[in-house]
């Protein structure tokens, strides 16, 4: 018999939310010792490992499930099942379902946008331009914009993700590439303004 249903210790809100990269514990209590507890998430068994440990306490009548450093994949609906020989339930003694949410860490920029050109206000046409910035998370997502219009990969633009670095490559600059460039995450942003200048055309007059 379950005397205290599966629950989350110290959630940060009423929706059972955990901050990404924070440890957390689930607890369930029985009226007698148990063994061989199975943990499911979204109806799939979760094996215990170095990050997820099933710990038997209070003479095995309490089971603590410890998660070391919450990951976004930990979000889901949890349930425990005990199938000990002393359990009479055909399908095992199942706990109530428990929904867990994971709040992702904010994606923040750790540098301003740097530009490969010597003079961002006087960039010649038909040059390769590289805009570079860095963020605090390798898996953090950002988007690039020119004058508030999102830039996608195409024949003249390449978006590069490498570790903590994020780059926008303009393969061949044109006057239309002038403007305010913004790189945004859901939590932060950086901007830079650049100017592409066309080649000067000189007119010569012949005087006779």
Q: What is the pTM (predicted TM-score) of this model?
A: 0.68
Greater model confidence, 139 or 194: 194
Output the pLDDT for position 202: 46
Contact, 183 vs 133, CB < 8 A? yes
79 and 10 part of one domain: yes
Domain that holds residue 13: 2-103
Candidates 41, 194, 23, 39; CA nearest to 122 is 194
Question: How far, in whole angstroms, is CA 22 from its chain's centroid?
Answer: 14
Q: What is the mean pLDDT of the chain?
A: 92
* 63-112 pLDDT tens trace: 999 999 999 999 999 999 998 988 878 889 999 999 999 999 999 999 99
Contact, 18 vs 102, CB < 8 A? yes
83 and 157 part of one domain: no
Output the pLDDT for position 159: 97
121 and 189 part of one domain: yes
88 and 30 part of one domain: yes
Q: Of the candidates 103, 132, 165, which is a domain's last residue?
A: 103
40 and 130 part of one domain: no
Output the pLDDT for position 34: 94
136 and 91 part of one domain: no
12 and 64 part of one domain: yes
Domain holding 132: CATH number?
Answer: 2.60.40.10
Q: Please list, residue by residue across 184-206, b when 16 or more beta carbons sit within 10 angstroms of its beta carbon and e when fewer do.
A: bbeebebeeebebeeeeeeeeee
Q: Decide if 121 is inside a domain.
A: yes
Cα-flanking dihedrals φ and ψ of residue 139, to 5°?
-95, 5
Encoding tokens for residue 109? 């920029």
* 154-187 pLDDT tens trace: 999 999 999 999 999 999 999 999 999 999 999 9
Q: Decide if 205 is inside a domain.
A: no
Output the pLDDT for position 88: 78
18 and 58 part of one domain: yes
Output the pLDDT for position 176: 94
């Amino acid at each position: 018999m379950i005397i205290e249903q599966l629950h989350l210790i110290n959630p940060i809100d009423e929706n059972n939310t955990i901050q990404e990269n924070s440890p957390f514990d689930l607890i369930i209590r029985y009226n007698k010792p148990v063994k061989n507890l199975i943990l499911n998430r979204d109806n799939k068994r979760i094996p215990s490992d170095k990050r997820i440990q099933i710990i038997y306490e209070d003479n095995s009548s309490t089971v603590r499930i410890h998660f070391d450093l919450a990951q976004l994949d930990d979000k889901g609906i949890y349930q425990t099942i005990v199938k000990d020989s002393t359990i009479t339930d055909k399908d095992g003694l199942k706990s109530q379902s428990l929904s867990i949410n994971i709040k992702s860490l904010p994606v923040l920029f750790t540098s301003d946008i740097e530009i490969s050109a010597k003079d961002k206000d006087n960039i010649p046409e038909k040059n390769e331009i590289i805009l570079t910035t860095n963020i605090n998370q390798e898996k953090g997502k950002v988007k690039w914009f020119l004058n508030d219009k999102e830039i996608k990969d195409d024949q003249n633009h390449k978006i590069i993700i490498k570790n903590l670095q994020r780059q926008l490559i303009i393969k061949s600059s044109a006057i239309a590439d002038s403007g305010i460039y913004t790189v945004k995450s859901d939590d932060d942003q950086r901007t830079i303004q650049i100017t592409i200048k066309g080649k000067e055309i000189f007119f010569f007059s012949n005087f006779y």
